[in-house]
Chains A and B, each alone.
Chain A
């Protein structure tokens, strides 16, 4: 069935089709439509789930970690300040090995107040141990929620489906809604091995001395490594049932490319058009879209970058005092490689400023004039 859906409702449908059993959320612009539709679905009985209307995002995540520890499927969505308020419990979800799935609508932090898109909210959570997938359109938002449960439950780590504020959250697109039977076939009910059960009482998360704590962290890293394969396998399984393929990364015209544009989310989607415009001008350029940011697909990045001369990473985010965050990750992945391209880092579109296909063409043309980056950050369109 095809339906015209805004990105926020694509999240709601993703949770519904995945048969989320406990939902807990607190409203924040630009996330509210996600929870409004889910409230409606729960109230009408269309979705058989408990929806806890909590008093803060911190409580939203706390309640879901508790629910997930019992062995049910859980969902929430937040953004910006809300995700930041959750931060402590995002760590808890990882340590408790609870496969919570949440939507994060990328919105810039205050002050000054902004409701527009920027990736610093989700990227501030990069070291929590949450898996993160950055969607480029609303179909991918919905499909990624379903896949996120499958991967998260198989590695017992939580996952965040990330979409751009307004560019996706409030933009309507015609998308395919998968049939429930097919989703059920792809995603069986969640079975948790170690759970809160009065018939088999255990303590979870108690005080752990230095002789044991280290190994708990090792296991989280191992789960992340396993998740790299699981995202690829899950993408293939998903394609077999639904006909749409997703992987850790996506390339466009990259096979014969001399230079690459690297980005994520909707900026990467826009860059596809820029590649076409540049190809028309005779540039041998391709695109690398990093879809799954955690776990970081370093091997894929190395393979794709090993055959190019120059790469420009466009970040809609900033690690203050360093550079764009995707750029840091790409550079780190390439550091020990023999065929290491020159990597340029551009910051663009902070606080929701438009990044158009023409902007990306200009960015590309500007940096290709340079032999080496003049600094770790190249600003684009800065008002003096």
Chain B
């Protein structure tokens, strides 16, 4: 695969060192190209893009309110349709803006099959506001609102299945560790009309509490330990696994590099492993090709 050499996103923006979401944007834009309009709700990328009057994304960017990535994108799409123009309209939101406060708007846009690419860069908590739990935070994780005395109890919401239930034309998961796969998915999404949903796992050094140099390694371990399966879903029903992961790494390898899990006992880690195994079995039953 030939990765486009042109850098649309500028280097030297205000992302944290080792920011996974920054890597995601860089490669997404390489695939999307300059004929793209972004809308970004409240999230880390509100800040990363750059304070007024700067912008680092190199394409038009409409900052919008927390709950409104999908609805703002729907309006932007409708306006370009009226003008007879066809840029890629991309809503770029974090997990808080997708799994939680923006879910109603996203569901509305998905049900209408509005013509956009909705990207959730998932760092598994409200990182921009200082690491509060979201419904994407995995069980057992520490955040500032799930302290070690009582870490996150409930499951990580299955946003992929929620989106699949809307029968939208295209869903993909991607990891910043598998850049060729990520770019291929964006290129594929670009050629499809209607609602496209891409979920990208984006490790976060301050939020997950690890050395910034481990970002790509952690994203890779998430895939290799079956914590974050790489898949594609057509029309909500044709599920395809892009990486089989025949010899999975123990989930402990993934968890133990992260300070947010360091309070976990071996027993608790074993329980997480059992749940990962169970989820993988369930996933395999959905795979159609």
Interface on A for B, CB 8 Å cutoff? 21-22, 24, 48-50, 52-56, 58-60, 62-72, 74, 88-89, 92, 96, 196-198, 200-209, 212
Q: Which residues of A contact B37 (CB under 8 A)?
A: 196, 198
Say yes or no: B105 contacts A56, CB within 8 Å: yes
Within 8 A of A (CB), among B72-128: 72-76, 78-83, 87, 104-105, 107-108, 111-112, 114
Say yes or no: B63 contacts A22, CB within 8 Å: no
**Closest B residue, CB atoms, query A48:** B82
When the two chains form the complex, which single residue of A62, A72, A206, A209 contacts B82, counting CB atoms closer than 8 Å?
A72
- Shortest beta-carbon distance from A117 to chain B in Å: 29
Contacts known (A72-B82, A208-B51); A24 close to B68, Cβ less than 8 A: no
- Shortest beta-carbon distance from B76 to chain A in Å: 4
**Closest B residue, CB atoms, query A196:** B60
Contacts known (A22-B79, A62-B105); A201 close to B55, Cβ less than 8 A: yes
Say yes or no: A70 contacts B50, CB within 8 Å: no
Say yes or no: B75 contacts A62, CB within 8 Å: yes
Say yes or no: B65 contacts A198, CB within 8 Å: no
When the two chains form the complex, which single residue of A52, A56, A201, A204 contacts B63, counting CB atoms closer than 8 Å?
A204
Q: Which residues of A contact B35 (CB under 8 A)?
A: 198
Say yes or no: B65 contacts A89, CB within 8 Å: yes
Q: Which residues of A contact B82 (CB under 8 A)?
A: 21-22, 48-50, 72
Say yes or no: A205 contacts B74, CB within 8 Å: no
Contacts known (A55-B107, A196-B60, A197-B60); A63 close to B55, Cβ less than 8 A: no
Q: Which residues of A contact B111 (CB under 8 A)?
A: 55
Q: Which 6 A-B pairs have the closest CB atoms?
A: A63-B75, A55-B108, A66-B75, A203-B55, A70-B79, A59-B71
The answer for the CA separation of A89 and B104 in the assembled complex, in Å, is 15
Say yes or no: B49 contacts A203, CB within 8 Å: yes
Interface on B for A, CB 8 Å cutoff? 34-37, 39, 46-47, 49-55, 57-65, 67-68, 70-76, 78-83, 87, 104-105, 107-108, 111-112, 114
6 A-B contacts (beta carbon < 8 Å): A59-B108, A71-B83, A72-B83, A196-B37, A196-B62, A207-B46
When the two chains form the complex, which single residue of B65, B79, B105, B108 contacts A67, counting CB atoms closer than 8 Å?
B79
Q: State the majority secondary structure of interface residues on B.
A: mixed
- Shortest beta-carbon distance from A194 to chain B in Å: 10
The answer for the CA separation of A340 and B82 in the assembled complex, in Å, is 53
Say yes or no: B79 contacts A21, CB within 8 Å: yes
- Shortest beta-carbon distance from A188 to chain B in Å: 16
When the two chains form the complex, which single residue of B53, B59, B72, B112 contacts A62, counting CB atoms closer than 8 Å?
B72
Q: Which residues of B contact A68 (CB under 8 A)?
A: 75, 79
Q: Which residues of B contact A202 (CB under 8 A)?
A: 55, 60-61
Say yes or no: B50 contacts A62, CB within 8 Å: no
**Closest A residue, CB atoms, query B61:** A203
When the two chains form the complex, which single residue of B57, B63, B80, B107 contacts A70, counting CB atoms closer than 8 Å?
B80
**Closest B residue, CB atoms, query A200:** B60
- Shortest beta-carbon distance from B100 to chain A in Å: 14
Among B63, B71, B73, B112, residue most surrounded by chain A Cβ atoms (within 10 Å)? B71
Say yes or no: A63 contacts B50, CB within 8 Å: no
Say yes or no: A207 contacts B47, CB within 8 Å: yes
Q: Which residues of A contact B58 (CB under 8 A)?
A: 201
- Shortest beta-carbon distance from B252 to chain A in Å: 39
- Shortest beta-carbon distance from B28 to chain A in Å: 15
When the two chains form the complex, which single residue of A89, A206, A207, A209 contacts B68, counting CB atoms closer than 8 Å?
A89
- Shortest beta-carbon distance from B72 to chain A in Å: 4
Say yes or no: A206 contacts B74, CB within 8 Å: no
Q: Which residues of A contact B108 (CB under 8 A)?
A: 54-56, 59
Among B36, B72, B75, B82, residue most surrounded by chain A Cβ atoms (within 10 Å)? B75
Q: Which residues of B contact A59 (CB under 8 A)?
A: 68, 70-71, 74, 104-105, 108
Say yes or no: A65 contacts B52, CB within 8 Å: no
Q: Which residues of A contact B72 (CB under 8 A)?
A: 62-63, 65-66
Q: Which residues of B contact A53 (CB under 8 A)?
A: 112
Q: Which residues of A contact B114 (CB under 8 A)?
A: 52
When the two chains form the complex, which single residue of A67, A88, A198, A209 contacts B52, counting CB atoms closer than 8 Å?
A209
The answer for the CA separation of A209 and B62 in the assembled complex, in Å, is 18
- Shortest beta-carbon distance from B70 to chain A in Å: 8
Say yes or no: A203 contacts B50, CB within 8 Å: yes
**Closest A residue, CB atoms, query B41:** A62
- Shortest beta-carbon distance from A239 to chain B in Å: 31
The answer for the CA separation of A200 and B87 in the assembled complex, in Å, is 13
Say yes or no: A62 contacts B60, CB within 8 Å: no
Say yes or no: B112 contacts A52, CB within 8 Å: yes
**Closest A residue, CB atoms, query B46:** A207
**Closest B residue, CB atoms, query A195:** B60
Besides A66-B79, A92-B64, A203-B49, 17 other CB < 8 A contacts? A55-B104, A58-B68, A65-B75, A66-B75, A66-B76, A67-B76, A72-B79, A198-B36, A198-B37, A201-B58, A201-B59, A201-B61, A203-B54, A203-B60, A203-B63, A204-B63, A208-B52
**Closest B residue, CB atoms, query A208:** B52
- Shortest beta-carbon distance from B16 to chain A in Å: 15
Say yes or no: B78 contacts A22, CB within 8 Å: yes
Q: Which residues of B contact A92 (CB under 8 A)?
A: 64-65
